[in-house]
Amino acid sequence: MTLLEASNISMQFGGLRAVDNFNLSIDQHELVGLIGPNGAGKTTVFNMLTGVYKPTEGDIRIEGLSVVGKKPYQIVKAGAARTFQNIRLFKDLTVLDNIKIAFHNQMKYSTLTGLLRLPGYWKGEAEAHESCMAFLEIFDMGEYADTLAKNLPYGKQRKLEIARALATKPKILLLDEPAAGMNPQETHELMETIRFIREKFDIAILLIEHDMNLVMNVCERIVVLDYGKIIAKGTPEQTRNNPDVIRVYLGEQVKTC
Amino acid sequence: MSKQIKIKKLGINVSAIVLLYIILKSAITFGLITRYHQGIIIFIMINIILATSLNLATGFLGQLTLGHAGFMAVGAYASAITSIEVRALLPNMPDFMLLIISLIIAAIAAGIVGVLIGIPALRLRGDYLAIITLGFGEVIRVVINNMRGLTGGAQGLTGIPRIVKFDSVFWVTVFVVLILYRLTHSRQGRAIMSIREDEIAAEAVGIKTTHFKVMGFAFAAGLAGVGGGLYANYLAFLDPNTFNFMRSVEILVIVVLGGMGSLTGSIIAAIVLTIMPEALRSFADYRLLLYSFLLVVMMIFRPEGLFGRREFSFDGVKEKFFNKDKIQEKTNIS
Amino acid sequence: MVLFLQQMINGLSVGSIYALIALGYTMVYGIIKLINFAHGELMMTGAYFAFLIVVTSGLPFLIVVPLSMLLAAVFSVVIERIAYKPIRKAPRISALITAIGVSLFLQNLAQVIFKADPKIMPELIDKRPIDIGPLQISTVTLTTLALAIVFMVILEIFIKKSKPGKAMRAVSEDKDAAILMGINVNRTISLTFAIGSALGALAGVLYAITYTQVFPTMGVMPGLKAFVAAVLGGIGFIPGAVLGGFTIGMVETFSRAYISSQWSDAIVFGLLIVVLLFKPTGILGRNEKEKV
């Protein structure tokens, strides 16, 4: 079954049609890139897919279940998790707490159980602690467990945000410009992280990016957006040579590393 | 944290509390503390309840509310009226039982009002939320003022059974702080704090933000109601106009001074700010002037207050002095 | 019918006082996104300045008014520089708490200096009522209304046509762009405070003359109600403050006259709650969505 299906979704803001008849189908394990000039509507698409905006038209389904109009936390429960363009970590909480919060829905003890400190609380917290620490270890971040998120270096903050999204056990991960603000070294690490995630977690990934190096190297399929409309779809090779895409990116070089 | 350390920590905390109780209780029984000072101690504890409950909403949940006195008022009147009516019906009921019933009613009443106000109000952010809670606080005060049949109106409510003494206040305060500590150190507490940190990110990792905002608000309101109930059944008299915006601000000053997000901070600040006006009796005229000056200065130079977001713990002190190489910035949650 | 018209005039007069105060709130909010809780206290300061001037020098109304406004304006700029400038980049909760602190500080400062008992404002305007048809309107009411309208018009012209006025609008729209355009943002912000407070002070003087009393907490309720007015009309939006002010004035006057003065406060706050729940941007306000 298709993992994520967006059918003819559009977003109208008053007089502005920010996204027009967007269609996308993503299957298990796919790695898809969404590119386009600034203002093309990429983040708006993301916001529609993750419940921040309700599309003015169209339907969105995750594993066949319609999620259009649902709130972000419901969409997380349905299996889609996202990161943000401007990293949104819980800055004054520790790295471990950031993960634990994402782990919230996997813990089961009730408020009352917590207040009474019944065995369910202790068991739940111990399990959570173990699982979340193990999770951090997977990302080589165990040593940072007790560091406040705001004190992490930028590249690690992005990694944490991705790890946190993965802690919600999604079926598809949506990354909004993950390489924003990164130097070449950090970008390289990010590419490794993305490939690693895909193998280790067996999930699909949809990412928005401006860094063509990253997109071309990592994505299997690319969708190109301009003024809210899809203007091209295909493999990186196809996209690179597509005259429409080149025209839209006039002045921008698309080449491999 | 291993189980042994947890048990040790618990042991230290429990002993400290019991010790404190014994010290204070003996001092009172043996007449070492005057009636007057007893009153101060009781007000300190009521303020601890009010400040820690407000801290849940403002410090932990991150929602500035300016109507906390309103919740206190609802609890106060609910407790007062319940105790008056029940005593009339069952005059032989022992004091402590009457108090427990009244306080439970107070908590429920204030909690319900908290939910009713919270559901619409929490849709707003920041400034707007603060203002609407101010508005609600004022509305509560006016309503109480005008329900003369039930509340005695502006004349005040008298004849409230005086069933609150040091013992009850002490243990109820311990209970309230315990609940708040446990709530904030649980997965629900983490969810609540995530909303303070970044509400959008919290939603994006699956937290039902509306649910937790209302929950935090309701707990804060209900516990403030308990504080109000203790106040009512101690003073035995209620004047609706004491539960005004100024009162909400005074509680806020305590929370800000102690640190928004630190329960121990609120406790210590409550002690300081309850004692201070009494100690500086001669400066009574300048009290509020000093408070407000303090507030402004704090916000400019040390907005995180005394304790910031950290809790004071005995082994935290030990660690600092004996384990200098292990010092990192820790929050006391994991 | 006569009573109704009478109340309408009263409502307009009260409303114009609220409008003047609301203008101060809205201008400051528009430029630094801060709800200046202490604004009601600036109204109070204006009244005390006027009182002091009259009592010590016996100067006439037409000099007392602008002089009080000027003094209040200067005073507000001092406050702005000391208390508000340092927290301009702070989180909103901090800024709001600071403003509350300033408000309380000023109230208590006035109390310490002048004591809590109300001072009587000497008669500055001849209180003879004027007869217009079947209506009897006091000179004070008319003067209040007239002065308020005059200054609102002056403000409108200033904002639209003058260079500093345009600077104020620019900084409200986009502070960073304004800096890039060479606008002295600090001076513009101080100017905004000064003007807003001058209008608030005018309201204070008019209020003192109307109700003859000057006391330290006189700014609290009118301040709160004027704030409701600003929010009702659309905070940050100048015509909104005027609309809101007159609306609240009418609501308060009519509910006092036809329902009860007990409930009129609750009704005003109830209106605030309703507005915030259903249209927080106010009647004339624009929608601002948070960017994700």
> Is A44 among the domain residues?
yes
* Cβ contacts of A60 within 8 Å, gap of 6 or more: A4, A5, A6, A7, A9, A48, A49, A66, A67, A68
With residue C216 as reference, give the H or E element that holds it: none
Which tokens is B241 given? Answer: 């106009």
pLDDT at B325: 41
As given in the structure block, the two tokens for residue C267 are 């009704």
- Please give the single-letter amino acid code of residue B300: I
pLDDT given for residue C72 in this prediction = 94
From chain A residues 25-44, the ones with a CB under 8 A of any chain C CB are 43
Q: Are residues A118 and A157 in the same domain?
A: yes
Residue A205 pLDDT more than 70?
yes
Contact B190 A100 (CB under 8 A): yes
C292 touches chain A (CB under 8 A): yes
Residue C88: what pLDDT?
86
Same domain for A189 and A221: yes
Q: What is the pLDDT of residues A137-190, one digit of tens each?
A: 999 999 999 999 999 998 899 999 999 999 999 999 999 999 988 888 989 989
Q: Each residue of B91-128: pLDDT tens digit?
A: 888 888 999 999 999 999 999 999 999 998 888 887 88
Torsion (CA) C79, C82, C88, C89 in degrees, nearest 10:
-160
Chosen domain end from A133, A165, A197 = A165
Lookup: tokens for B88: 């009339």
**What is the layout of strands, in order, in the sheet containing A65-66?**
A16-26, A4-13, A57-62, A65-66
Q: How many CA within 13 A on the CB side of residue B186?
A: 25
Residue range of the domain that includes B84: 15-280+287-307
**pLDDT: is C1 or C167 the higher one?**
C167
pLDDT at A250: 63
Q: Can you read off the two tokens belonging to residue C45? A: 């300061």
Put simply, whether C62 touches A (Cβ < 8 Å) is no
Quickly state the pLDDT bin for B75 (edges 50, 70, 90). very high
Task: Give residue C144's pLDDT.
Answer: 83
Whether C235 has a pLDDT exceeding 70, the answer reads yes
C-alpha–C-alpha distance, residues B235 and B254, integer Å = 22
Domains: count for chain B: 1
The answer to whether the beta carbons of residues B331 and A90 sit under 8 Å apart is no
Taking a C-beta distance cutoff of 8 angstroms, is the pair C76, C103 a contact?
A: no
Q: With beta carbons less than 8 A apart as the criterion, state whether A244 and A231 touch.
A: yes
Q: Tell me if chain B has a CB within 8 Å of the CB of A199.
A: no
| Sheet containing strand A31-35, strands side by side | A80-82, A172-176, A204-208, A31-35, A221-226, A229-234
Give pLDDT, residue B315. 54
DSSP conformation letters of A44-79 = HHHHHHTTSS--SEEEEEETTEE-TT--HHHHHHHT
* Location of structure tokens 């006039």: A250
Q: Of A128, A148, A165, which one is at a domain's C-terminal end?
A: A165
Give pLDDT, residue A251. Answer: 52
pLDDT at C289: 54
Tell me what the pLDDT averaged over chain A comes to.
90
A84 in any annotated domain: no
pLDDT band of residue B326 (cuts 50, 70, 90) is very low
Q: Are residues A185 and A247 in the same domain?
A: yes
Touching partners of A (3+ C-beta pairs < 8 Å): B, C
- pTM for this prediction: 0.88
Is pLDDT of C255 > 70? yes
Spatial distance between the Cα atoms of A49 and A30, rounded to a whole number of angstroms: 17
Give CA–CA dist C225/C269, Å, rounded. 8
Residue B30 tokens read as 């043996």
The pLDDT of residue B51 is 97
Position B10 in a domain: no
| Alpha carbons C106 and A9: distance in angstroms, whole number | 56
Q: Is the pLDDT of residue C137 over 80?
A: no
Residue B333 pLDDT grade (very low, low, confident, very high; cuts 50, 70, 90): very low
Is 70 exceeded by the pLDDT of residue C198? yes
State both tokens at B120.
């619409």
Q: Is C93 on the interface with B (CB under 8 A)?
A: yes
Q: A235 and A207 in one domain?
A: yes
Contact B141, B243 (CB under 8 A): yes
pLDDT computed for residue A240 by the predictor? 85
Q: Provide the chain A residues 19-78 that lie in CB contact (below 8 A) with chain B.
A: 50, 52, 71-73, 76-77
Lowest-pLDDT range of A98-102, B245-249, B328-332: B328-332
Domain boundary among A150, A165, A180: A165
Do residue B295 and residue C97 have CB atoms under 8 angstroms apart?
Answer: yes
Q: How far apart are CA B61 and CA B53, in angstroms?
A: 11
Phi/psi of residue A5, nearest 5 degrees? -135, 115
| DSSP three-state, residue B20 | helix
Cross-chain residue pair A151–B331, CB shorter than 8 Å? no
**C128 backbone dihedrals φ, ψ, rounded to 5°:** -60, 135
Note whether A147 contacts B: Cβ–Cβ < 8 A: yes
C-alpha to C-alpha distance for B65 and B126, rounded to whole angstroms: 9
- Give the minimum alpha-carbon distance from A243 to chain C in angstroms, rounded to a whole number: 32
Q: Give the residue on B whose Cα is nearest the Cα of C101.
A: B292
- Cβ–Cβ under 8 Å, residues A27 and A2: yes
Q: Which chain C residues contact residue A43 at CB under 8 A?
A: 292
Per-residue pLDDT reduced to its tens digit, C102-133? 999 999 999 889 888 888 877 766 767 777 77
Q: Residue C131 pairs with which residues in a beta bridge?
A: C136
This model of the complex carries an ipTM of 0.89
Q: Name every chain A residue with its beta carbon within 8 A of the beta carbon of B197.
A: 89-93
CATH of the domain at A248: 3.40.50.300
Q: Is A150 in CB contact (< 8 Å) with chain B?
A: no
pLDDT in tens, C50-82: 999 988 888 888 888 899 999 999 999 999 999
User: Which of left, alpha, beta for A79 (phi over 0: left; psi -120 to 50: alpha)?
Assistant: left
Query: What is the per-residue DSSP string for C48-63?
Result: HHHHHHHHHH---HHH
Give the gyration radius of chain A's Cα atoms.
19
Q: Which residues pair with A224 in a beta bridge?
A: A35, A232
Is residue A129 assigned to a domain?
A: yes
Sign, CA torsion B206/B211/B217/B219: negative
Whether residues A157 and A219 share a domain: the answer is no
Are residues B120 and C98, on separate chains, in Cβ contact within 8 Å? no
Size of interface A-B (CB pairs under 8 A): 114
SS3 content of chain A, % helix, strand, coil (to 5): 40, 25, 35
CB atoms within 10 A of CB B86: 17
- A234 in a structural domain: yes
Please write the tens of the pLDDT for every residue from B134-174: 889 989 998 898 888 888 888 888 888 888 989 999 999 99
The set of chains that have 3 or more CB pairs under 8 A with B is A, C
Find the domain containing A251 and state its range: 1-79+170-257
**Residue C161 token pair:** 């046509």
B214/chain A closest Cα distance in angstroms: 14
* Helix C92-114, helix B245-258: angle, nearest 10: 120
Under 8 Å between Cβ of B252 and B68: yes
- pLDDT exceeds cutoff 50 at B334: no
H/E stretch holding B222 = helix B209-235
- Do A76 and B309 lie within an 8 Å CB cutoff? no
Contact B127 C108 (CB under 8 A): no
Domains held by chain A: number:
2
Q: Class of the C2-278 domain? A: mainly alpha
Indicate if A66 and A11 belong to the same structural domain.
Answer: yes
Q: What are A157's two structure tokens?
A: 């903050």
Q: What pLDDT sits at residue B99?
A: 94
Q: Is A250 helix (H, G, I), strand (E, B) or coil?
A: coil
Q: Answer yes or no: do A2 and A74 share one domain.
A: yes
Residue B74 pLDDT greater than 80, yes or no: yes
Query: Long-range contacts for B86-91 (Cβ within 8 Å, ≥24 apart)?
Result: B87/B161
What is the least distance, in Å, from the CA of B177 to any CA of chain C?
24
Q: Are B188 and B218 in contact (CB under 8 A)?
A: no
CB contacts of A118 in chain B (<8 Å) are none
Q: Output the six-digit token pair for A241.
A: 């040579």
For residues A66 and A125, state if they share a domain. no
B123: distance to nearest CA of chain A, Å?
14
- Whole-number percent of chain A with pLDDT over 70: 97
